[in-house]
Amino acid sequence: MSLPTNSDSKLNLVSQTKSFGGWHKQFSHASSSVKGEMRFAVYFPPQYETKKDLPVLYWLSGLTCTDENFMQKAGAHRMAAQLGIVIVAPDTSPRGDDVANDEGYDLGQGAGFYVNATQAPWSAHYHMYDYVVTELPELIEKEFEVSSKRAISGHSMGGHGALMIALKNPDRYSSVSAFSPISNPMDCPWGHKAFSAYLGEDQSVWAQYDSSVLMSNAVDLVPALVDQGLDDNFLQEQLKPEALEAAAAKNNYPLTLNRHEGYDHSYYFISSFIDEHFKFHAGHLMY
């Protein structure tokens, strides 16, 4: 598969590997949103060679992850190849020597939380919301012959990001799904730490990025699927799916939330149910 043919392409090919008849490729580029270099991965299913305008699933990863975790561990390429869905997986934060960081794994590089930071020193680079919602899709749709039909999914911090972004932008996504999402970040330690650092102490600002709050007030409804393992170590303190469930019940929101005995927070869980998520998205993307 050839590289983008745009004469003004700003993409740099980092790596490429054949998989299930298609290609997994990593690219880097200079991002205007985060004011630095970003890396993302794309899986092009075999149909991309002959059939253009394929729909795109955006995948947002969790704390400490990069663009590589999902592509290598989830086992998603097989179903994407069967269904003819392109996968795009960005990194989880800006990175670099000049990018603010923290000693903890749950703040700073690898932990962007998909918000637009307003507080120093984070506000200089941490605009992951703008990157995922606007800059990256515009880049993908300019450089590759894909459809503007999009779905979004993610895990843990990325599950929070996927749900929140779809709820805030219902016109941009056909469907949304999440594994083990941080469902109510205003009311958990991970969310308190990240939101107070990135957004300040005004919790009315936090509410603009909280999926449970957004779902309870949503007007335009994006079909949502969530899977949660019941042996997840983070379930009670950090994830709180019951808050999302209550918001959906209050607003009659089209949410399917499945709980699974014995499953934890790992990619073993994700890989066990990833096919169902792709089929769910295909049902909305293909029509």
Q: Which residues are marked as active site?
A: 156, 232, 265
DSSP secondary structure, 95-161, as one string: -STTS---SSTTSBTTB-TT-B--STTGGGT-BHHHIIIIIHHHHHHHHS-EEEEEEEEEETHHHHH
CB atoms within 10 A of CB 234: 18
User: Strand pairing partners for 37?
Assistant: 30
Residue 21 C-beta-side C-alpha neighbours within 13 Å? 15
In angstroms, rounded to a whole number, what is the distance separating the alpha carbons of residues 231 and 278?
24
Neighbouring residues of 199: CB distance < 8 A, sequence distance ≥ 6: 115, 117, 118, 119, 205, 206, 209
Single out the residue of 155, 100, 98, 95 nearest to residue 131, CA to CA: 95
Give yes or no for a contact between 240 and 184, defined as CB atoms under 8 angstroms apart.
yes
Give yes or no for a contact between 150 and 55, defined as CB atoms under 8 angstroms apart.
yes
The helix/strand/coil state of 193 is helix
CA 44 from chain centre, in angstroms, equals 18
**Burial bucket for residue 136 (CB in 10 Å: 0-12, 13-18, 19+):** buried
